[in-house]
Amino acid sequence: MKERINFLVEKLNHYNTQYYQNDSSEISDFEFDKLLEELKKLEEENPQFKLPNSPTLRVGGDITNDFQTVAHRYPMLSLSNTYNETELLEFDERIRKTVDNPVYVCELKFDGVAISLRYENGIFTQGVTRGDGEKGDDVTANVRTIRDIPLKIEEKNIDKNEVPTDFELRGEIYLSKTQFEILNQEIVEKAKEKGVEEEKIPDLLLKNPRNAASGAIKMKDSKEMAKRKLSCFIYDAYGTPFDSHTNILNHLEKWNFAVSDFYKKANGIEEVLEFIKEWENKRLQLPYETDGVVIKINNLDQREELGFTSKSPRWAIAYKYKAEEAQSKLKSVVFQVGRTGAVTPVANLTAVQLSGTTVKRATLHNEGEIKRLDLHEGDTVFVEKSGEIIPKVTRVVTGLREKNAKPIIFTENCPECETKLIREEGEAAYYCKNENGCPPQILAKIQHFIHRKAMNIDGIGNKTIELFLKNKVIKDIADLYELDKEKILALPNFKEKSVENIFKGVEESKKQPFKFVLFGLGIRHVGASIAEILTDEFASIDNLKKATQEEIAHVFGIGERIAESIKAYFSEPKNIEIIEKLKAAGLQFEQAEKKKPILDGILSGKTFVVSGTFQHFERDELKGKIKELGGKISSSVSKKLDYLLAGDKAGSSKIEKAEKAGVTIISEADFMQMI
């Protein structure tokens, strides 16, 4: 039985490779399906013989309730973007300061979803989304259904010694234009069968191939994901012995990975510019979406020499083709309220097609932008996608304006609660200050509170919060700790198990350290790093509340604006009431086991910014060591700073600021010698 299973796996994987990689059908679909059915039956009867590269994994079937978050071994950094040739020439100039006669590789930039793939002993073991670049979601079961990702690197026709025992690939999962149309056609047909009204069908359609791919990769049922029939191009590898990018791509092709045919080695920036011009229009004929060209240094040793900023490699850049522009007509302007009370104007437009999507709304940013555009009612406008993601109005065709059209005036009152808006000095946005009585602010504050970087409440998502507020299950963040089980069970689609998960997630959140609780409160200008500074300095919410504005502002890395915002928060009785309820519920409002700085320590009175990665310390461990020895940590570079401790991949902007401010820049070795 084992021999038959092994034989079927080998044959079916061979047929898959021929079909998906080489466009060759060696057997009919009927014959293939018969063999697959036989294999599936044998595996069910003999699960001990099922192989990790079995083609039955391609059809999915695993159900995932929650995707596990995992850390990337190699951070998935984003690329710096440019939209013009001048900045490309400046990029080349910066490269030439370090590298003589650089050789680049130009690749088309696919419009899909970035993925990290891990292979151990030639077998695919894990697929992880980009996430925040440091951590992503484990979507292995879903990735296995993508047929042009090998589940095992076959050893035929390759040198086995060339395949590392443990390495990672970077790729882009995408949905072809044809498959996108097929899926939408299926949606239309199913909607008609169910009797959905004709005018409502467009709202059911997938908006564009990229969004369809992004939604599919996070489907909880891998069988449903398999139906999307996604594809994946591989464009890089980590942990391999190769010395150049082209060498990596050549070996990936040999190992039967799908590598785009359209890349080019360019000897100098002029050849790069030629490639960009060549593909500006040609790319539109491809069967998948692209939005630019990625330019990378070919030599890997030179890449290492050039290094990284905190967010992106210095040896690569993405050239984005100019966003497609479309003409539309302004129907109206509405005003939206965000979590912090900022009010943003949004244009409602007649529907236009733009970069493969239907656009009906576009941002107008703020009052200043409305005035710059000189926007009037009923104006004919041009709209484009900023970075091909967020639609925005770019200009007005004043020649087509109706004679008596009235100018668009920014609202004076909050569109949700009628509170008078204010604009603080130095701010571009107007704000609604009714944070505890304005419905969209209340919703956004609770959604912020449950976020994984704040209270990390499993079992509750943004849609659940909307439903809870709508049905008066909760009215603020404190009510999450006084939930009524019967009220939740009375809501649609809530079962005993899902409610248990909610209560479990709420209970677990009580263990979150004070810095996460403080961040979760949603105080304006208090982000995660500021919350950490404040918890280190004041140790408890009571100490922070009692501190004067001057005392808070005096803390290194805080300043007047943040101090003023904190005092304003504590001056609101409703906020104090919520904090007291959260205290009673058992949340952490004190820093556990606070280590007091050694006042006469060797780093006493010295302030540091820590940037990059380090050989002997984790970054948080390094910050802890500095504090333990009497030093202070800041999140930003200023003239008050004593040292920028720069590790590998330290942020270039921080280094530039430190150099301009005359701040001493030290390495990990310098620091170790110092202590």
Confidence of residue 33 (pLDDT cuts 50, 70, 90): low
Q: Tell me the whole-structure pTM to 2 decimals.
A: 0.53
Is beta strand 231-238 parallel, antiparallel or unpaired with respect to 342-354?
unpaired
| Rounded Cα distance, 16 and 29, in Å | 11
Rounded Cα gap, residues 254 and 186, in angstroms: 36
Structure tokens at 486: 């019967």
Query: Cα separation of 222 and 140, whole Å?
Result: 9
CA distance 86 to 230: 36
Query: What is d(CA 264, CA 271) in angstroms, rounded to the nearest whole number?
Result: 9
Contacts with 71 (C-beta within 8 Å, 6 or more apart), sequence order: 134, 135
Q: Tokens 């590898």 identify what position? A: 237
pLDDT band at 102 (very low <50, low <70, confident <90, very high): very high
More confident residue, 232 or 163: 232
Rounded mean pLDDT, 156-162: 66
Determine which of 101-115, 206-220, 575-589 has the lowest per-residue pLDDT on average: 206-220
CB atoms within 10 A of CB 498: 15
Q: By C-alpha distance, which of 674, 632, 634, 628 is closest to 658?
A: 634
Question: Looking at this protein, which amino acid is placed at residue 59?
Answer: V
Note whether 13 and 53 are within 8 A (CB): yes
Q: Supply the pLDDT for residue 388.
A: 47
Q: What are phi and psi of 465, to 5 degrees?
A: -60, -45
Which of 24-33, 539-548, 653-662 has the highest average model confidence (pLDDT)?
Answer: 539-548
Q: Is the pLDDT of residue 371 over 60?
A: yes
Q: What are 311-359's pLDDT values in tens digits?
A: 789 999 999 887 677 899 999 999 999 888 999 999 999 998 876 678 8
Domain with residues 325-400, CATH architecture: Beta Barrel (2.40)
Q: Tally DSSP H helices, then E strands, for the chain.
A: 24, 21
**Weakest mean pLDDT among 71-75, 161-165, 567-571:** 161-165
Backbone angles phi, psi at 660, to 5 degrees: -65, -35
Q: Does pLDDT of 18 surpass 70?
A: no
- How many angstroms separate the CA atoms of 656 and 653, rounded? 5
Nearest-angstrom CA–CA distance, 134 and 434: 36
Helix axes 560-570, 573-585, angle to 10 degrees: 80
Q: Which residues contact 582 (CB under 8 A, 6 or more apart)?
A: 477, 478, 481, 517, 589
* pLDDT winner (highest mean) among 121-135, 186-200, 406-420, 519-533: 406-420
If pLDDT is split at 50, 70 and 90, which confidence band does 157 have? low
H-assigned helices in 220-343:
222-227, 245-254, 269-282, 300-306
**CATH entry, 2-59, from 1.10.287.610, 3.40.50.300, 1.10.340.30, 3.40.1160.10:** 1.10.287.610
What region does 114 belong to: left with phi over 0, alpha with psi -120 to 50, or beta? beta
pLDDT at residue 597, as a whole number: 47
| CB neighbour burial string for 57-93, b if at least 16 within 10 angstroms, e if fewer | bbebeeebeebeebebeebbbebbebeeeeebeebbe
- Mean of all residue pLDDT scores within the chain: 86
DSSP per position, 498-514: HHHHHHHHHHHHTTS-H
- pLDDT for 377 equals 95
Higher pLDDT: 659 or 457? It is 457
CB 570 within 8 Å of CB 577: no
Q: Where in the chain is the domain with CATH 3.40.50.10190?
A: 607-674
Q: With 90 as the cut, is the pLDDT of residue 56 above it?
A: no
**224 confidence band (pLDDT: 50, 70, 90):** confident
Rounded mean pLDDT, 41-59? 73
Query: With 60 as the cut, is the pLDDT of residue 283 above it?
Result: yes
Q: Which fold has domain 439-509?
A: DNA polymerase; domain 1 (1.10.150)
Confirm if 147 and 16 have CB atoms less than 8 A apart: yes
SS3 378: coil
The fold for domain 607-674 equals Rossmann fold (3.40.50)
Reply yes or no on whether the pLDDT at 485 is more than 70: yes
Q: What is the amino acid identity at position 168?
A: E
- Coil, helix or strand at residue 226: helix
What is the sign, positive or negative, of the torsion defined by CA atoms of 51, 55, 61, 66? positive
What mean pLDDT do residues 595-609 have? 72
Looking at residue 427, what is its pLDDT? 80
pLDDT (tens digit per residue) in 182-218? 998 888 888 877 777 666 677 678 877 888 888 888 8
Confidence band of 567 (pLDDT split at 50, 70, 90): very high
User: Which residues are known catalytic residues?
Assistant: 109
Handedness of CA 587, 588, 590, 593 (dihedral sign): positive
Note the pLDDT of residue 192: 79
Instruction: Residue count of the chain, please give it.
Output: 675
Residues of the chain with CATH 2.40.50.140: 325-400
At residue 574, does pLDDT exceed 90?
yes
Rg for the chain (alpha carbons), in Å? 28
More confident residue, 65 or 14: 14
Tell which residue, 400, 387, 408, 385, has the closest CA to residue 326: 385
Please, where in the chain does CATH 1.10.150.20 lie? 439-509, 514-585
CA 605-606-607 angle, 5° bins: 120
First to last CA, the chain: 65
Closest CA to 335 of 393, 249, 414: 414
Find out whether 76 and 130 touch, Cβ atoms under 8 Å: yes
Place of tokens 């939209």: 83
Extract the tokens encoding 584: 């009673």
pLDDT over 80 at 594, yes or no: no
Tokens of 78: 């984003």
Class of domain 81-320: alpha beta
Which of 109-123, 141-155, 250-264, 534-548 has the least mean pLDDT? 141-155
The residue assigned the tokens 């992106």 is 312
Supply the pLDDT for residue 225.
86
The per-residue pLDDT for 659 is: 81
What local confidence, expressed as pLDDT, does residue 408 receive? 96
- What is the distance between the alpha carbons of residues 273 and 266, in angstroms, rounded to a whole number? 9
321 secondary structure, DSSP code? P
| Residue 627: per-residue pLDDT | 80
Q: What is the pLDDT of residues 372-404, one digit of tens each?
A: 999 999 999 999 875 445 788 989 999 899 999
Give the distance from CA 223 to its chain's centroid.
25
Assess whether pLDDT exceeds 70 at residue 268.
Answer: yes
Q: How far is it, in rounded angstroms, from Cα 354 to Cα 331?
A: 18
Where are the alpha helices (H) located in 144-203, listed in sequence order? Answer: 177-193
Q: How confident is the model at residue 412 (pLDDT cuts 50, 70, 90)?
A: very high
Topology (CATH level 3) of domain 514-585 = DNA polymerase; domain 1 (1.10.150)
Gap between the Cα atoms of 187 and 495, Å rounded: 28
